[in-house]
Amino acid sequence: MSIVNQSAVNRREFLEIAGAGLLIVATAPWSDAQRGGGAGTLETRLHIGEDGFITVLSGKIEEGQGALTELAMAAAEELRVPLDRVRMVMGDTDQTPADGGTAGSGTTPRTAPLVRRAAATARDLLLASAGRQFGQQSPLGANVRLEVIDGAVQYAGKKYGYADLAHSPELAAAYKEALPANITVTPAKDWQLLGKPQVRLDIRELVTGAHRFPSDIVRPGMLYGCVLRAPSYGATLGGVDLSEAQKMPGVTAVQDGDFVACSAPTTFAARKALAAISATAQWKTVEQPSSDELFGYLKQHAKPQERPQAQGRGSVEKGLAESRTRLKASYQVPYVQHAPMEPRAAVAEWQDGRLTVWTGTSNPASVRQQLAETLGVAQDRVRVLVPHFGGGFGGKHTGEAATEAARLAREAGHPVAVRWTRAEEFMWAYFRPAALIEVEAGLDAGNAISAWDFTNYNSGAAALDTPYRIPNTRARFVASDPPLRQSSYRVLAATANNFAREAFTDELAEAAGKDPLEFRLSHLDNERMRNVLNAAAQRFGWVERRKKRRPGTGIGLACGTEKNSVVAACCEVEVDRVSGAPRLIEVVQAFECGAILNPANLRSQVEGAIMMGVGPALREEILFQDGKLTNARFATYRVPRFRDLPKLDVILLDRKDLESAGAGETPIIVIAPAIANAVFHATGKPVHTMPIRASG
Amino acid sequence: MATIRLSVNGKTRSVDTEPERPLLEVLREDLGLTGTKYGCGEGQCGSCTVLLDGAPAVSCVTTVRAAEGRKIVTIEGLAEGGTLHPVQQAFLDEGAVQCGYCTPGMVLRTVALLQTYPKPTDAQIVDGLNGNLCRCSDYHRIMAAVQRAAAGAGKKG
């Protein structure tokens, strides 16, 4: 396996990397139709080189979630080649099929099958081509069954491999045709490579510091750019004077409406120039809401529903009216920031009216479109390359730095790098939406949930419905007019919706006089959810530990499902008597996402998701006032650190009989409610807000 | 502007620069050593960790002047030839990398930690690495990598 370094790949270099072969005969970039990300033709997906190496192309990007290794494994499995014979080219709008952007845990269920089908097609071609070769001298016996082993077919002392296939006219013809619809991929039970732990293939470049992240890209003559930012949200520029900055050596300063920026030979010089510009800037500010009034604001600004967005069964009104016990609660989840370790970064280079941009985004195709529109050039004159970048978590679907770099580079006549500071990343990247969630439910005479009415204001509809068996339900998402710029975050609103539902479920269990595990199982038909719940509870020792009670500590559990995967966690917390702050002592989490493709990577994803989820559960909360953030620093916005690491036990259930589902998101959804329920257990007082505090 | 002489990864490098520039920026922009990362610019995340005379330092809040005359080791200076440093090897073997942006800082911090505590307790690892953030939050696996590196060092010793 080798990683194609995309920092400097053009089409000719791609040929050199991928090796000569029959694919790269076209000189024009592939058409948009070919880039569509459907099954497509073989040539959009695979290149078989004369050296026998296979290059796999995908518009998906790598940001630490393990897509590169997974797709390489998927290809190698079907090709029957060792993993080191597969090369990956990803996230390059000139080379790769778009594959629909990297989001929504889609690589595993949607892209890996496309790669497998293309690879299986190539393997079948190899078999057929080999059969014809071997059959030319003497017909193959009726009972001869050819097989691809280690990238080659052997018969009667002769060998025919992918390097031979690369020369064949059969391959040239097959490249152009749509992938056969009836191609069979290897069933999970027969996998040799998939399903076994594989350390990520690009890890050596990462531990040596050799990998060039988007913020490490350097081009000849490159300058460093800085952008003038408003002091507060909604502020508009009244006037600014660029003249002082323009006198500084090597500085180019530009103004285009509210876009004011400069470039210089070093970041230090660019910052100095920006400071000179900033000192002259006059801003008109407008009144902005503050985080103190956030949840009232979201409800006041709720938008009338254009179409009824309700999922439901039975009649909630009737169910509530007939219930024996009625409970209601309101839950609050504040804004949080993704804060990936690598802030937004891009390098833009213009050459003969063509624009090339290296940037960290999960949507290279849409960033390309955005660049073309903003810069007024045709899309086919814009190329976006996405080197493996430093984390996104749903926070890098956009291309702000790319556009800024492109505007500056055109003005400066040099390539320009724009690398956001941490302060910029906190304030100007979009946030995970805040949520206000209102729930009301009723218990019938048998203490089963008979009615469930759930409304999410502002944050979204992911995992909105309840997985529990309830005869009368209604679940609504009501959009609001958000005070901050908000968009995707790992698993979207599923975290907020699971927090509210699972915390409230414990209140209902308490009212019903039932153990939370028993109460859930009595409402749960989903076999997969029952399995993870039982697996986590058993490993944790739920039944025995719930009976014992240690002062100041509590145990809690939660479960959920999203993106066709299921998850459950049990945890223990200790509550600080003075501050009410919970400390997480232990987590056992069980996760199941169908047939596991790479258990090593899956374990990392699950462990990482749990720990990332601990942040908003215990501390993370964006505070803002007068259009400014008041805690936009790692010193004050406390993300999880080593000291937050609990005793952690992850159980992965492998279901080889089920389709593989994505796993980068769902494992985050149960940690907050499990902690909330443990605090409820410790204090006897239910939890209604994140970050979680024991109420006094 | 001043001419500053730096000792980086065993070599003497001479740089003409404003002496108050962050060492991080000079390493990355003047010397092309981009393995050292910017993460926060205020010494809160550890992405920019280098070794200064063997001790970990956050290069984003260290001026280049303050680094003059001291031995600087960056992530590029750890492997010898094609052989990874044992700590790098432990991170690789354990698969303790997701996006990898924090990895150079984590590795260097671990190298320093194991110099102080060749056989660290878990509490010493947690305290030693608490200044380094990983937003992929792969702390459990990094912990295992540090333990693996320590176990390997123990065997050799």
Q: Once rounded to an integer, what is the mean pLDDT over residues A256-283? A: 97
Please report the pLDDT score of residue A35 as a whole number: 41
Across the range A273-302, mean pLDDT stands at 97
- Let me know whether A576 and A548 are in one domain: yes
The domain of A148 spans 2-207
Kindly state whether residues A571 and A455 are assigned to the same domain: yes
Asked if A635 lies within 8 A of B44 by C-beta distance, the reply is yes
Closest Cα in chain A to B21: A268
Same domain, A374 and A492: no
Task: Tell me whether residue A258 is in a domain.
Answer: yes
B34–chain A Cβ distance below 8 A for any pair:
yes
A648 contacts B140? CB cut-off 8 A: yes
Place of tokens 């290059």: A55
> Does B136 contact A at CB distance below 8 Å?
yes
Q: What is the rounded CA–CA span in Å between residue A76 and residue A491? A: 29
B19 touches chain A (CB under 8 A): no
Q: Which residues pair with A55 in a beta bridge?
A: A47, A87
The verdict on A168 and A119 lying in the same domain is yes
Give tens-digit pLDDT for B18-34. Answer: 999 999 999 999 999 99
| pLDDT grade for A696, boundaries at 50, 70 and 90 | low
- Note whether A356 and A263 are same-domain residues: yes
Rounded to an integer, the average pLDDT of B86-104 is 98
Q: Residue A573's beta-bridge partner residues? A: A554, A584
A294 within domain boundaries: no
Assess whether A66 and A197 both reside in one domain.
yes
Q: Which residues pair with A591 in a beta bridge?
A: A567, A652
Please report residues of A whose CB lies closer than 8 A to that of B36: 209
A195: in domain: yes
Using pLDDT thresholds of 50, 70 and 90, give the confidence band for residue A138.
confident
Using an 8 Å CB-CB cutoff, list chain B residues near A341: 37, 39, 45, 47, 99, 101-102, 133-136
- What ipTM was reported for this prediction? 0.98
Domain chopping of chain B, boundaries: 2-77, 86-156
Domain assignment present for A694: no
Helix (H/G/I), strand (E/B), else coil: A457 = strand
Residues A450 and A409 in one domain: no
Mean pLDDT in residue range A643-660: 98
Binary contact (B84, A208; C-beta < 8 A): yes
B130 and chain A in contact, CB less than 8 A:
yes
Amino acid identity for residue A444 in this structure = D
Tell me whether residues A612 and B137 touch, CB distance under 8 A: yes
Structure confidence at residue A174 as a pLDDT band (50, 70, 90): confident
Among A15-24, A385-394, A566-575, B100-109, the minimum mean pLDDT is found in A15-24
Q: How many domains does chain A have?
A: 3
Last residue of a domain, one of A419, A452, A467: A419
Mark which of A419, A439, A460 sits at the end of a domain: A419
A425 found inside a domain? no
Query: Is pLDDT at A599 greater than 80 in this prediction?
Result: yes
Min Cα distance B134 → chain A (Å) is 7
Chosen domain end from A377, A397, A419? A419
**pLDDT (0 to 100) of residue A305:** 77
Nearest to B92 among A199, A642, A645 (CB): A199
Q: Are residues A349 and A463 in the same domain?
A: no
Same structural domain, A550 and A448: yes
Percent of chain A's residues with pLDDT above 70: 93
Residue B110 above 60 pLDDT? yes
Look at A31-45, A301-315, B101-115 and tell me which has the smallest mean pLDDT.
Answer: A31-45
State residue A154's pLDDT score.
92
Per-residue pLDDT band for A306 (boundaries 50, 70, 90) equals low
Instruction: Give per-residue pLDDT as tens, A447-487.
Output: 999 999 999 999 999 999 999 999 999 999 999 999 999 99
Nearest CA in chain A to B92: A203
pLDDT digits (tens, 9 = 90+) for A352-394: 999 999 999 999 999 999 999 999 999 999 999 999 999 999 9
**pLDDT confidence of A307, banded at 50, 70, 90?**
low
pLDDT at B155: 57
Q: Does domain B2-77 have CATH number 3.10.20.30?
A: yes
Cα–Cα distance for residue pair A149/A152, rounded to 1 Å: 5
Is the model's pLDDT at A186 over the cut of 70?
A: yes
A584, A590, A594, A595: CA torsion to nearest 10: 100
Q: Is the domain of A90 the same as that of A32?
A: yes
* Residue A495 and residue A377 in one domain: no
Helix or strand run (H / E) with residue A510: helix A494-512
What interhelical angle do B122-129 and B103-116 show, nearest 10?
130
Chain B residue with CA closest to A417: the answer is B29
- The answer to whether residues A357 and A437 belong to one domain is no
Per CATH, which fold does B86-156 belong to? DNA polymerase; domain 1 (1.10.150)
Instruction: State the CATH number of the domain containing residue A252.
Output: 3.30.365.10
Say if A426 falls within a structural domain: no
Average pLDDT, chain A: 92
Distance (Å, rounded) from C-alpha A473 to C-alpha A545? 33
Lowest mean pLDDT among A5-9, A385-389, B45-49, B80-84: A5-9
Q: Contact at 8 Å (CB) between B152 and B117?
A: no
d(CA B129, CA A638): 16
